[in-house]
Homo-oligomer: A and B are copies of this chain.
Amino acid sequence: MSGFEFESLEKTLEKYIPENELTEVKRILFGNPTKNLELHSSAEIVASERDFELQGHAFQSAPEQLRASRRVRVGLIQNRTVLPTDAPILDQISAAHSRIAELVEVAAMCDVNIVCFQETWTMPFAFCTREKEPWSEFAESAEDGPTTRFCQELAKKYNMVIVSPILEREALHNTLWNTAVVISNSGQVLGKTRKNHIPRIGDFNESTYYMEGNTGHKVFQTQFGKIAVNICYGRHHPLNWLMYSMNGAEIIFNPSATVGALSEPMWSIEARNAAIANHCYTCAINRVGTEHFKNEFTSGDGKKAHHDFGHFYGSSYVSAPDGSRSPGLSRTRDGLLVVELDLNMNRQISDKWSFKMTGRYAEYASELAKVVSEDFKPNIVKE
C-alpha cells in the first residue's frame, strides 16, 4: 500500500474534479446522489470534541399511495482500539465500552434507530498472532456477558437497536464463536447470529480460534425493520447474502475487520453488489487504524517477523437496492455514519428489476445439489 496518507476517495474526487464532470463521475461511481442529512449542530460539536468524524446522508425514495414511507436511521460506527494491545484485558474492554458510549450518545443525538459496531469490537483483531492467550479471554457470553449487559443499558436508554459483534464463549461446550448479538430497543437480547464463513487467508487465522457458524441465516424483526448480520468474510459469499434476503432481511449489516493491501479494491464492490442483487440495504463496517502486538509474528508470506497486521482502512458505507451508495467514512479516523433510508425502496426496486421473480431458484437448488455430490460431472463441451 502506498505510504501516502489517503483520507478518502470521495474527498479527493471533490477536491480536483470540476463540478459538471464531478456530477457524472459520481453518478457512474455511486449512483443516484444521496441527500445531505441535517444533523443537530450539538451532535457535530460533540463529535468534534470527541475527535471522530460524523457524516449524515439520506437515500431518496419515492412516495407510495398505500404505504407510508418507512424511514429508518442506521448508524455505522468504526473506531480504533483505544488502549495498547498489551494493557490488562479488563482495561481494554472498559476503554472500548467508554469509547463506544461516546459514539452511541452522538448517534442518539442524531436520532439513530439501529446502530452496528465493528467485528469483535471489544478487542484488538489479534488472530494474526495465532496466540490463544490472552486473546481467548476476551470471549464473553452472548446472552449475559458484560458487553451484552452494557449494550442492553445503552439500547434501553436511547431506544435504539444495537448490533454488537463480539468474540463469544459458549460455556456449556466451551466453544468460541464469532458472533453478533442483536439487542432490541427495549433492552432485551433479541438473539445472536454467528459468522457463517471463516477466512483461510493471510493473517486472518480465525479458523484457529472458532468454527463456521451454526445459526443459519436468522433475520431479526425489530421495531425499525427486519435486519440480519453477515459478519466480515461472509461478504465474499453471494449465497450468504442471498439467504439472509430470502429470510426477509431488509437491512444486512456487515461488521468487518479488513486491511488495505489485501481487500481494499474489493471493499466497495461486494456489499454493494449484494444490495443490488438482493433488493435490500447493506451496511459495510470496517475498523480503522493499525494495531501493534508485543510479540512478533510471521504472516506466512516469507517476510520477516513483525508486530502489526496492517492498516484497517475504515471506509464504512451503506448501499441501497437501487445501486446507489452513501459516501464512505474516512480511511483513518474513528467515525459515525448516519444514513436515513426508506425501507419501502426495497419493494419498489424489486417491483422494478424483479430479480427475485426471475431468479429461477428451484433450478439452482437442484443444480447446486448436484454440484456438491461426489460424482458431479461438469457440463463441458469439447470439440
Contact = CB atoms under 8 A, between A and B. Distances in A.
A243 B27 contact: no
Interface string A315-326: 000000001100
Contact of A379 (B16, B219, B237, B365): B219
A102 to B, nearest CB: 28
Q: Rank and list the top 10 A-B pairs by shortest CB-CB distance, nearest first.
A: A31-B265, A238-B238, A273-B273, A365-B368, A365-B369, A266-B323, A247-B378, A6-B24, A16-B16, A362-B372
B236 A276 contact: yes
Contact of A4 (B20, B216, B217, B383): B20
A357 interface: yes
Nearest to A186: B383
18 contacts: A2-B20, A4-B20, A6-B24, A9-B29, A13-B25, A28-B265, A31-B265, A199-B358, A200-B354, A236-B277, A239-B359, A243-B364, A243-B371, A248-B378, A263-B323, A266-B276, A270-B276, A365-B368
A272 interface: yes
A171 interface: no
A367 B369 CA distance: 10
A367 B9 contact: no
Nearest to A246: B371
A218 interface: yes
A381 B191 CA distance: 7
| Copies of this chain, tallied across the complex | 2
B221 A380 contact: yes
Given A28-B264, A29-B268, A236-B277, 18 more contacts: A1-B27, A6-B21, A17-B17, A27-B264, A190-B381, A198-B358, A201-B353, A202-B352, A212-B358, A221-B383, A237-B360, A238-B238, A238-B242, A247-B379, A361-B372, A365-B365, A365-B372, A368-B368
Contact of A380 (B226, B242, B277, B358): B226
B197 A360 contact: yes
Contacts of A9: 25, 28-29
Interface string A226-249: 100000010011110011001110
Contacts of A353: 201, 236
